[in-house]
Amino acid sequence: MRSKSFEGFMKGVFLASATMAIIAIILICVFIFSSGVPFIAEYGLFDFLFGNKWKPSNKPPSYGILPMILGSIYVTIGAVVIGVPIGILTAAFMAKFCNKKLYRFLKPAVNLMSGIPSIVYGFFALTMIVPIIRERVGGTGMSILTASILLGIMILPTIIGLSEASIRAVPESYYEGSIALGASHERTVMSVLLPAARSGILSSVILGIGRAIGETMAVILVAGNQARIPTDITKGVRTMTTNIVIEMAYAGEEHRSALIATAVVLFVFILIINGLFLIVKRRSAN
């Protein structure tokens, strides 16, 4: 290990490895966009994004993905409504309301939650939540509501993870200052610590949204998968992600391009969400 040239060589190997991440991203962008964009260009961006008929087997086929875009948005909003408040409050509990012994148990539990495969979550929802919704609320049980509940559960660890770390990172002096003014522990946490941690909490929500929008397998099992604009939350819906998986297997040439084009739209959504996340992170670092 002593020669200078070996040192230089290894440095080159390390550098090459570091650039792999960049190469991977570039490749992904190139292939996804180059396979999907021509279709969008030919079909028409407006018709594609805002067309509300997705009927690939018609003659001529129509490929409007508005129902899927709305589907993704609706289930994501649902997931956020369910998952974010519970997640933030749980994070507050873990950071400021539970004792050390319990915490040592809960922290790995959160990690476990984020490690459970989506298929297991989906299967659970299929066998447990769908029948309940069917009986108590109506419809087939496979609906926006079900998917939202499922996704809400699935993004909990994402929200909790980052939010809890942010709450913990708030300087002790903020806490002490508030307590010294006579505010209770609970009020201090809510009115002082949470707002102080807001950029970390916001980051976690953005990450959670990204996770919800990108989720596929769990959603497929419980969302109903009808490709039309849903009219109420007990109706089934298809998301951009599930649309791709469901039809890819038997898609013909043009149909497949349309599906890849859907992935392009999804990708752009994700890039925007990621960009937001990075901006919030940069802003909070200053």
List the interface residues with another protein, window 84-113 (CB under 8 A).
85-87, 89-90, 92-94, 97-98, 106, 108-109, 111-113
Helix (H) or strand (E) holding 63: strand 62-63
Smallest separation, CB 226 to another protein (Å): 16
Q: Which is nearer to another protein, 220 or 233 (CB)?
A: 220
CB–CB of 94/197 below 8 Å? no
Q: Which of residues 16-55 bind another protein (CB under 8 A)?
A: 16-22, 24-25, 27-28, 31-32, 35
Residue in 274, 94, 83 with CA at minimum distance from that of residue 197: 94
Q: What single-letter DSSP state applies at residue 164?
A: H
β partners of residue 137: none
- Interface pick for another protein out of 43, 76, 118, 130 (rule CB under 8 A): 118
103-112 contacts, C-beta under 8 A, 24 or more apart:
110/157, 110/160, 110/161, 110/164, 111/157
Smallest separation, CB 228 to another protein (Å): 21
Smallest separation, CB 50 to another protein (Å): 22
Smallest separation, CB 230 to another protein (Å): 21
Smallest separation, CB 32 to another protein (Å): 6
Smallest separation, CB 231 to another protein (Å): 26
Pattern 237-276, binding to another protein, x per CB under 8 A?
Answer: ----x--xx--x-----------x--x--xx--xx-xx--
Q: Which is nearer to another protein, 11 or 283 (CB)?
A: 11
Which residues are CB-contacts of 110 (< 8 A; sequence separation ≥ 6)?
Answer: 94, 157, 160, 161, 164
Q: What single-letter DSSP state applies at residue 237?
A: B
CB–CB of 245/118 below 8 Å? no
Size of the site for another protein (CB under 8 A): 84
Q: Does 147 bind another protein (CB under 8 A)?
A: no
Q: What single-letter DSSP state applies at residue 54?
A: E
Q: Residue 107: exposed, middle, or buried by beta-carbon count in 10 A (0-12, 13-18, 19+)?
A: middle
Q: Which of residues 175-234 bind another protein (CB under 8 A)?
A: 184-187, 189-190, 207, 210, 213-217, 220-221
Smallest separation, CB 254 to another protein (Å): 16
165 to 95, 157, 229, 245, 281: CA distances (angstroms): 8, 12, 39, 35, 14
Q: Does 76 bind another protein (CB under 8 A)?
A: no
Q: Which is nearer to another protein, 64 or 83 (CB)?
A: 83
Radius of gyration over every alpha carbon of the chain, rounded to an integer in angstroms: 23
Q: Which is nearer to another protein, 24 or 81 (CB)?
A: 24
Strands (E), the chain: 54-55, 62-63
Q: Which is nearer to another protein, 128 or 180 (CB)?
A: 128
User: Is the peptide bond prior to 60 cis by the omega test (within 30 degrees of 0)?
Assistant: yes
Q: Does 121 bind another protein (CB under 8 A)?
A: yes
CA gap 239, 267 in Å, rounded? 13
Smallest separation, CB 53 to another protein (Å): 23
Q: Which is nearer to another protein, 123 or 174 (CB)?
A: 123
Q: Which is nearer to another protein, 64 or 208 (CB)?
A: 208
